[in-house]
């Protein structure tokens, strides 16, 4: 195992906020990149004001949500609307490899800090822009966050039952999966290209297009010419497939039978005579009787504890899982703690705080998570002194003038 991480020596100037961008830069930081988060007390990252909150009264330093998305980063406080802030950013750009931002198109340019201006001082800079609907087109200036993006890309319409209103995804799926991962992949590709050619480049990542890229029903609609309808927890190629009640208060199990072998396992585990009948031995037969099968299965599951259902079906080779709540994920039953999926780090305001650990596990360079999320502006003086060579009096002048607000 090497002590050097894959992205050691890469510095990221991070203007992203809320979800997709910070998750992406967190991944870069976990694998060795030095990430400097630029934020301002006059308009802080909205996630700092988003619960759940640790006990206390500080309005900006107790968000568990913010903490989990921003470990391994430094934070500098900089009011980008102040005229003197531009020079600070340009100087930071000269010593950075990547600049990432997730503002509406034109925002960085308004401050004269767009791609053209930054590459004048750092020609090989990699510049990542993550606008919601791209930097061109009739909707490019529309603002929004994960919730509006879920609606815009069609996910809201796909989630729920056909006779009820759309319910959405519960969490902002685009923020957590496609957009940060596409961003990281693009940055890594650009870093590789720069290593080979010496050239930086601009990356435009439309969060809408990034999300649509991994939505199966959208691809189906494009291929077949018709839009799929929401169908609860069902899918077209598996019966039964869904979430079924278990004994207890609001307890559930997810069961998915994908082929005939798994169906035979389910029939054996339940002991239901109807499940052993020839008429349901094929997918076509099961599909024709989907309502009946799922109703009978629900009757069987509702009499058993969820862990007992899971144990029986696992032994029979049937894909199954207890529907876990957030608290259970931290407990032993989920198996995540045993795998080291969580880290506890001492936060200066929140105290010992649980973070999700680095997910990809490289055998030689496994990544790191040893620094909690920063307080707003916590490393301002250190960054300005160590990276830009500013004196104490220089920094005091900026602070007195309201630049470091």
Task: Specify whether the CB–CB gap between 357 and 336 falls below 8 A.
Answer: no
14 classed as catalytic? no
State the pairing for strand pair 351-356/342-347: antiparallel
Catalytic residue among 14, 45, 68, 175, which?
Answer: 175
| Residue 79, C-beta contacts closer than 8 angstroms, at least 6 positions apart | 40, 41, 42, 85, 402, 403, 404, 405
Which among 344, 398, 396 has a CA at the least distance from the CA of 371? 344
Can you say how many angstroms the Cα of residue 136 is from the centroid of all Cα atoms in its chain? 25
Is residue 66 exposed (0-12), middle (13-18) or buried (19+ Cβ within 10 Å)?
Answer: buried
Residues 5 and 89: their CA atoms lie apart, in Å, by 27
Q: Where are the alpha helices (DSSP H) in 125-214?
A: 146-152, 155-158, 173-176, 178-197, 207-212
| Phi, psi (deg, nearest 5) at residue 361 | -115, 95
In 54-107, DSSP assigns E strands to: 73-77, 98-101
Nearest-angstrom CA–CA distance, 203 and 194? 13
Using alpha carbons only, how large is the chain's radius of gyration in Å? 25
CA 269 to chain centre: 37
- Say if CB 103 and CB 131 are below 8 A apart: yes
Please list the active-site residues.
175
């Amino acid at each position: 195992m090497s002590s050097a991480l894959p992205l050691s020596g890469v510095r990221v100037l991070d203007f992203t906020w809320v979800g997709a961008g910070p998750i992406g830069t967190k991944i870069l930081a976990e694998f060795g990149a030095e990430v400097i988060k630029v934020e301002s007390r006059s308009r802080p990252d909205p996630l700092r004001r988003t619960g759940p909150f640790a006990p206390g009264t500080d309005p900006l330093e107790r968000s568990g949500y913010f903490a989990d998305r921003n470990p391994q980063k430094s934070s500098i406080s900089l009011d980008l609307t102040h005229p003197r802030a531009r020079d600070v950013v340009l100087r930071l750009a000269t010593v950075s490899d990547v600049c990432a931002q997730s503002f509406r198109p034109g925002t960085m340019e308004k401050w004269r800090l767009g791609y053209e201006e930054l590459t004048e001082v750092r020609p090989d800079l990699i510049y990542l822009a993550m606008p919601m609907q791209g930097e061109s087109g009739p909707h490019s200036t529309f603002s929004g966050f994960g919730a509006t993006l879920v609606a815009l890309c069609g996910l809201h319409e796909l989630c729920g039952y056909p006779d009820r209103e759309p319910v959405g995804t519960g969490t902002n799926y685009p923020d957590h999966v496609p957009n940060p991962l596409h961003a990281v992949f693009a940055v890594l590709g650009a870093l590789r290209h720069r290593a080979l050619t010496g050239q930086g480049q601009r990356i435009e990542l439309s969060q809408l297009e990034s999300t649509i890229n991994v939505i199966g029903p959208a691809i189906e609609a494009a291929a077949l010419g018709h839009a799929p309808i929401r169908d609860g927890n069902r899918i077209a190629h598996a019966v039964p497939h869904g979430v079924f009640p278990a004994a207890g208060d609001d307890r559930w199990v997810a069961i998915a039978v994908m082929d005939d072998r798994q169906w035979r396992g389910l029939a054996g585990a339940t002991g239901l005579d109807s499940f052993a009948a020839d008429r349901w031995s094929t997918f076509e037969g099961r599909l024709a009787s989907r309502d009946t099968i799922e109703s009978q299965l629900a009757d069987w599951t509702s009499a058993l504890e969820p862990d007992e259902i899971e144990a029986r079906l696992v032994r029979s080779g049937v894909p199954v899982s207890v529907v876990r709540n957030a608290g259970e994920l931290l407990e032993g039953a989920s198996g995540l703690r045993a795998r080291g999926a969580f880290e506890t780090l001492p936060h200066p305001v929140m105290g010992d705080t649980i973070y999700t650990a680095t997910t990809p596990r490289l055998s030689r360079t496994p990544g790191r998570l040893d620094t909690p999320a920063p307080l707003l502006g916590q490393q301002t003086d250190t960054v300005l002194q160590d990276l830009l060579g500013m004196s104490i009096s220089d920094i005091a002048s900026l602070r007195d003038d309201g630049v470091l607000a």
